[in-house]
C-alpha cells in the first residue's frame, strides 16, 4: 500500500525550501550552543507549518531544485527591519549639548540625591546660564523686530511685498530689471531728485523728465521663497527639540523617582577600566544617570519657565526671521541673511559648550534616554515570529495604506507647511491686493514709539501709529 503523501512535499521546490529552512534552524541552534550566546530558544524544533512559512519568507521565488537560497541574508534583513520597527515608539532624552538640557536635568539629580551642595550649586548655575541665554536670544530678536517694524517705518520705508518686475512699484510706475533698486539705492536716488526739485522749482518739468529714480523692488521672488525655506529647515532642529521636551514632560511618570541608580552588571563590566592602583574602576562607572519620573510641581515649573520660553523664542525667531528675509530685496543679501539668522537659536548650545563646566557636560552626556517601546521585545521573539512579522509580512501582497503614508517625508512636509504659514502671515499682516491683482504694501503710518514692549514684539499690530499715512499705493 502506497504511503500517504506529505502535504509539505507535494512540490519539489517546496520540499527543498522546507529542508533548507530546517537546516538553517539546526545550524543556528548549534552555533548558539557552541558560542554560549543568548537569544530565542529553539528547543523542540520548529513546527512543519512554521518551517513552511519561514521557507516561503526566505525564498518566495524558488520554484526549481538547485537554486541556492541565502537564508542568512533574509534572516538578518528581518532583524535589521525589525530592530527599527520595534523602536518606532521612540524615546525621550535630555538635550546633551544645551543650556535647556542642563536646566532640566541638574535639579532632578539634586532632588534625587537630597539637594547636596555640589549638585544644588550646579543646578543654580545652570539656571543662571539659561536666563542669560533667554535674555540674549530675546534681545537679538527684539532688535531685529524694532528695526523692521519701527525704525524702518520712521525712515519712510514701505513693505516690500511683491514689488517686482512686471508690476508697479511704490512710485506707481512699471518695474523693469534696469529700474530695480534696493531700498538704500532707491531712497538715495529719490532724495537727489527731490533735492533738485527743491533747489530749482522753476525747472520741475525738466527734472521730472531727465531724472528717473527707478523703483524699489525685488530682484527675485523665488530666491526669497527658497531662502525662507532654507531658514525654516535650519530651525527645524530647535522645533524638534522643543517637541521632544514637551513629550518628555508628558510621557515620564508624574511621581518622585530617582534619576540616579546603580549601573547594570553587564554595562559595568564593559565600562570599567583597569587603573594603576589595582583595577577597581572609577566611581563614575558605577553610577547610571537616567531620565525618570518627575513630580507634578516640577513638571508645571518646567512647562512655565523652560518649555514655554523655548517655544516662544522659536516662534519669534521663525516669524521675525521670515519677515526679515521677505523684506530683503537683493539676491545676495537674502542668501547671507538666511544663514546669519540661524545663529540666534544656537546661542544656548554655544553657552553650554564654552561657558558650562566639564562636570555639567559630562553628566549631560551620561544621561540615558527614557524609552517609549518595550525593550524586552527582541529577547522574547522566536525566530519564527521574527520571520513572520518582519520578513513574510513585508511582502508586497500585505501592503497597507500606512505603508504609503510612511513614504511621505514627514519632516520635509512640516518644513514646507511652516514656511508657507509664516510667509502667508507676512502677506496677511503687511500687504494688500489691488483691484488689478497686484500684491502691494499696505498704507503706511509712522509709529509713535521707538521701542517695542514684549507684547508688541509678539503682536506687531499693537504698535501705536499716527493717524495720517506717509505713503499709500498710487492709483493705476
pTM of the prediction?
Answer: 0.82
Report the SS3 class of residue 256: coil
Q: Residue 307 gets which letter from DSSP?
A: I
C-alpha cell at 163: 514689488
Residue 176 has pLDDT above 80, yes or no: yes
Output the pLDDT for position 41.
42
Q: What's the pLDDT tens digit per position in 440-454?
A: 999 999 999 999 999
Q: Which residues contact 230 (CB under 8 A, 6 or more apart)?
A: 338
Q: Which residues contact 260 (CB under 8 A, 6 or more apart)?
A: 109, 112, 113, 287, 288, 289, 290
Distance (Å, whole) CA 111 – CA 128:
18
Q: What's the pLDDT tens digit per position in 111-157?
A: 999 999 999 999 999 999 999 999 999 999 999 999 999 999 999 99
* In 269-347, beta strands by DSSP E: 287-289
> Across residues 18-25, what is the average pLDDT?
55
CA-based Rg of the chain, rounded to a whole angstrom?
Answer: 33
Residue 362 — φ and ψ, nearest 5°?
-65, -40
C-alpha cell at 199: 533747489
Residue 78 pLDDT grade (very low, low, confident, very high; cuts 50, 70, 90): confident
Q: Which of 344-348, 350-354, 389-393 has the lowest mean pLDDT?
A: 389-393
CA distances (Å), origin 392, targets 29, 48, 412: 22, 16, 31
Residue 64 has pLDDT above 80, yes or no: no
Residue 17 — φ and ψ, nearest 5°?
-60, -45
299 CB burial (10 A radius; 0-12, 13-18, 19+) = middle
Amino acid at each position: 500500500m502506497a504511503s500517504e503523501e506529505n502535504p509539505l512535499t507535494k512540490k519539489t521546490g517546496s520540499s527543498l525550501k522546507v529542508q533548507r529552512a530546517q537546516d538553517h534552524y539546526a545550524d543556528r541552534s548549534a552555533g548558539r550552543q557552541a558560542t554560549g550566546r543568548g537569544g530565542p530558544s529553539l528547543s523542540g524544533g520548529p513546527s512543519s507549518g512554521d518551517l513552511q512559512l519561514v521557507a516561503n519568507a526566505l525564498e518566495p521565488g524558488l520554484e526549481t531544485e538547485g537554486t541556492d537560497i541565502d537564508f542568512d541574508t533574509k534572516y538578518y534583513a528581518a532583524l535589521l527591519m525589525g530592530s527599527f520597527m520595534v523602536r518606532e515608539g521612540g524615546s525621550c532624552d535630555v538635550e546633551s549639548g544645551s543650556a535647556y538640557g542642563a536646566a532640566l536635568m541638574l535639579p532632578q539629580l539634586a532632588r534625587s540625591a537630597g539637594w547636596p551642595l555640589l549638585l544644588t550649586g550646579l543646578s543654580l548655575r545652570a539656571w543662571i546660564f539659561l536666563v542669560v541665554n533667554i535674555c540674549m536670544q530675546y534681545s537679538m530678536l527684539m532688535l531685529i523686530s524694532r528695526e523692521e517694524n519701527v525704525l524702518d517705518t520712521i525712515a519712510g520705508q514701505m513693505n516690500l511685498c511683491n514689488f517686482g518686475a512686471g508690476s508697479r512699484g511704490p512710485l506707481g510706475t512699471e518695474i523693469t530689471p534696469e529700474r530695480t533698486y534696493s531700498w538704500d539705492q532707491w531712497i538715495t536716488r529719490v532724495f537727489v531728485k527731490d533735492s533738485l526739485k527743491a533747489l530749482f522749482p522753476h525747472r520741475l518739468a525738466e527734472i521730472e523728465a531727465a531724472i528717473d529714480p527707478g523703483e524699489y523692488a525685488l530682484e527675485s521672488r523665488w530666491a526669497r521663497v527658497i531662502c525662507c525655506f532654507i531658514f525654516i529647515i535650519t530651525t527645524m532642529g530647535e522645533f524638534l527639540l522643543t517637541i521632544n521636551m514637551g513629550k518628555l514632560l508628558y510621557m515620564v511618570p508624574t511621581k518622585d523617582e530617582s534619576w540616579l541608580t546603580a549601573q547594570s552588571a553587564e554595562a559595568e563590566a564593559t565600562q570599567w577600566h583597569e587603573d594603576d592602583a589595582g583595577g577597581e574602576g572609577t566611581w563614575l562607572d558605577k553610577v547610571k544617570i537616567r531620565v525618570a519620573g518627575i513630580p507634578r510641581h516640577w513638571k508645571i515649573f518646567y512647562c512655565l519657565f523652560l518649555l514655554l520660553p523655548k517655544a516662544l523664542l522659536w516662534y519669534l525667531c521663525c516669524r521675525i526671521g521670515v519677515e526679515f528675509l521677505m523684506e530683503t530685496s537683493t539676491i545676495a543679501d537674502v542668501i547671507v541673511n538666511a544663514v546669519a539668522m540661524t545663529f540666534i537659536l544656537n546661542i544656548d548650545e554655544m553657552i553650554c559648550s564654552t561657558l558650562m563646566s566639564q562636570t555639567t557636560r559630562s553628566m549631560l552626556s551620561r544621561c540615558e534616554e527614557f524609552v517609549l517601546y518595550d525593550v524586552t521585545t527582541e529577547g522574547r521573539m522566536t525566530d519564527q515570529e521574527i520571520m513572520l512579522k518582519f520578513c513574510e509580512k513585508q511582502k508586497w501582497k500585505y501592503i497597507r495604506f500606512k505603508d504609503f503614508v510612511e513614504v511621505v517625508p514627514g519632516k520635509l512636509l512640516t518644513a514646507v507647511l511652516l514656511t508657507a504659514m509664516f510667509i502667508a502671515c507676512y502677506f496677511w499682516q503687511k500687504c494688500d491686493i489691488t483691484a488689478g491683482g497686484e500684491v502691494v504694501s499696505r498704507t503706511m503710518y509712522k509709529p509713535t514709539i521707538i521701542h517695542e514692549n514684549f507684547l508688541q514684539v509678539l503682536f506687531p499690530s499693537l504698535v501705536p501709529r499716527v493717524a495720517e499715512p506717509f505713503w499709500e499705493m498710487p492709483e493705476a
